[in-house]
Homo-oligomer: A and B are copies of this chain.
Amino acid sequence: MSDAGSQEGVEAMTRTTLKDVAARVGVSAKTVSNVVNGTGWVTDELAARVREAISELGYRPNVAARQLRSGRSRMIALALPELSQPYFAELASELVRAAQERSITVLVHQTDGRADIERRISDGIDAPVMDGLIMSPLALGAKDLDTRIDPTPLVLLGEHIGDGGFAHVTVDNTAAAATATEHLLSLGCRRIAAIGAQTTGPNETAVLRLAGYRMALEAAGIEYDDRLVFEVDEFHRADGAAAARRILESGAEPDAVFAFNDLLALGAMHVLITGGVRVPDDIAVIGFDDIEESRYSTPALSSISPDTPALARLAIDLIYEGPPTPGIHTVGFTVAHRASTKGPTE
C-alpha cells in the first residue's frame, strides 16, 4: 500500500488532459470543458466531435483536480437503513433534489442497519472523498461514531443516539406522538391502542413515540393501560398486520389506534377492515410519516406529517456552513387529517 503514491504519479504523467482533447479537435479548452460539464452552448456537431476525441484519447475528467482547486468535491454521501421503506425512499428523493438545486451530487448507500456496513460508511471506506455524510444509523451508537476514522463532516438523521457531540436533524418525536394522540382524543376516542412499542433493539424512535403517547394520555387524565400497547419487531406493514391480529384476538376493544409509522398503520388497517372492523367508525387510525401511500389507501390514512423538505435542506446546510453544529436540530410537523380519523364524533 505504501507504493501507491508512486504508481499514482506514473498514472498522472501519462494522463490525457483537457488541453490534449482541445488540441486534437482544434477548439479551446473552455469548449471541451463545456461539453464535459454540460455548461455553455456548443453545437451538436461540435459536441459530437469533442466526445469522439475524448473517447479516442481516453480522457477522463479529473474530479480530484477540480476538488483540489475548489476544496470541495460537491459530493455528499447519504446512508439509510432501507430504501424499500417508503419513508426513507421519499427522504432520499427529497435530499437528492435539495442537493441538486445547489449542484451537489448525492450518493446513496443502503446499510440494512448492519453494524459492519454502517461502520465502513462512517469510516469512509470504499468511497471517494466527500464533503459530508448524512446518516441514519440503526446499529451504531454514539460511542461507535466517536471513534470513526474519517474526518468528513457527519450529520445524523432521526433519532438522538446519545449526546455524542454530533449534529442531529429530526422531528421532535415525543411532541409529535403526543399530538397524534391528542388528535384522537379530540375526536372523542378514549381507548387508544399504540402499535410500535419496542423493548429490544436500539430503536430510540419507538421509545420517544411511546413517551409522547403516555404524555398525552396523562394530560387528558386517562390512565395508561399496557394491554393497549402492542409491540413490534420492525416498523413494516407485516408487523402492523400482526399487531392488528393481536388486537382483534385480545378483546382489548380499542376505539382508536396510533401506529408509530404509516407502514404499521397501513398493515393494521388492512387486517382490521378485512376482519370486519369499520375504520374510522369502529376504530380510528392515525400513522406517522405521511408517506404518499397514506393519501391513497382506503380509507385515506391520517398521519403526522414531518417537514421533510426542511429536514433535507437543513441537513445539507449543516454540512456546507462550516463544521456541523452539535446538538438536536428539529424541524416542524403537522397533522394530516384524513378519512381514517373522520369520526367517531363527526
Interface residues of A (CB under 8 A from B): 1-9, 11-13, 15, 17-19, 29, 36-38, 48, 51-52, 54-55, 58-66, 68, 74-75, 82-84, 86, 89-90, 92-93, 96-97, 100, 105-110, 112, 116-117, 119-120, 123-128, 147-151, 237, 241, 266-267, 269-270, 273-274, 292-293, 295-298, 300
| Chain B residues within an 8 Å CB radius of A105 | 109, 126-127
Across the interface, do A68 and B7 meet the contact criterion of CB distance under 8 Å?
A: yes
Across the interface, do A298 and B296 meet the contact criterion of CB distance under 8 Å?
A: no
Cα–Cα, bound, A300→B297 (Å): 11
Across the interface, do B274 and A237 meet the contact criterion of CB distance under 8 Å?
A: no
Q: List 24 A-B contacts (CB under 8 A).
A: A1-B29, A1-B65, A4-B12, A5-B9, A5-B12, A8-B8, A8-B64, A36-B149, A38-B119, A48-B147, A51-B148, A59-B149, A63-B126, A74-B126, A75-B127, A92-B108, A93-B110, A96-B112, A107-B127, A108-B108, A237-B293, A267-B296, A270-B298, A293-B293
Most chain B beta-carbon neighbours within 10 Å: one of A37, A150, A297, A298: A298
Cα–Cα, bound, A125→B32 (Å): 13
Q: Is the interface of A mostly helix, strand, loop or mixed?
A: helix
| Chain B residues within an 8 Å CB radius of A2 | 17-19
Most chain B beta-carbon neighbours within 10 Å: one of A1, A29, A65, A112: A1
Interchain nearest-CB distance for A15 vs B (Å) = 6
Most chain B beta-carbon neighbours within 10 Å: one of A3, A8, A9: A8
| Chain B residues within an 8 Å CB radius of A123 | 36, 61
A50's nearest neighbour on chain B, judged by CB, is B149
Across the interface, do B270 and A300 meet the contact criterion of CB distance under 8 Å?
A: yes
| Chain B residues within an 8 Å CB radius of A4 | 12, 15, 62, 64-65, 68
Interchain nearest-CB distance for A231 vs B (Å) = 20
Give this chain's copy count.
2
Cα–Cα, bound, A107→B119 (Å): 16
Please give me the 10 A-B residue pairs with the lowest Cβ-Cβ distance, nearest first. Answer: A5-B12, A4-B65, A89-B89, A128-B128, A108-B108, A84-B93, A107-B107, A96-B110, A54-B149, A2-B17
The verdict on A270 contacting B292 (CB below 8 Å), with A4-B62, A117-B100 known, is: no
Across the interface, do B74 and A83 meet the contact criterion of CB distance under 8 Å?
A: no
| Chain B residues within an 8 Å CB radius of A62 | 1, 4
The verdict on A89 contacting B84 (CB below 8 Å), with A65-B7, A119-B38, A297-B297 known, is: yes
Interchain nearest-CB distance for A41 vs B (Å) = 13
Across the interface, do B17 and A12 meet the contact criterion of CB distance under 8 Å?
A: no
A38's nearest neighbour on chain B, judged by CB, is B116
Cα–Cα, bound, A7→B287 (Å): 54
| Chain B residues within an 8 Å CB radius of A48 | 147
Cα–Cα, bound, A117→B231 (Å): 44
Across the interface, do A296 and B13 meet the contact criterion of CB distance under 8 Å?
A: no
Additional A-B contact list (4), CB under 8 Å, known A4-B15, A237-B295:
A5-B13, A58-B151, A60-B149, A273-B298
Cα–Cα, bound, A15→B3 (Å): 11
A273's nearest neighbour on chain B, judged by CB, is B298
| Chain B residues within an 8 Å CB radius of A97 | 110, 112
The verdict on A51 contacting B149 (CB below 8 Å), with A5-B12, A12-B4, A74-B126 known, is: yes
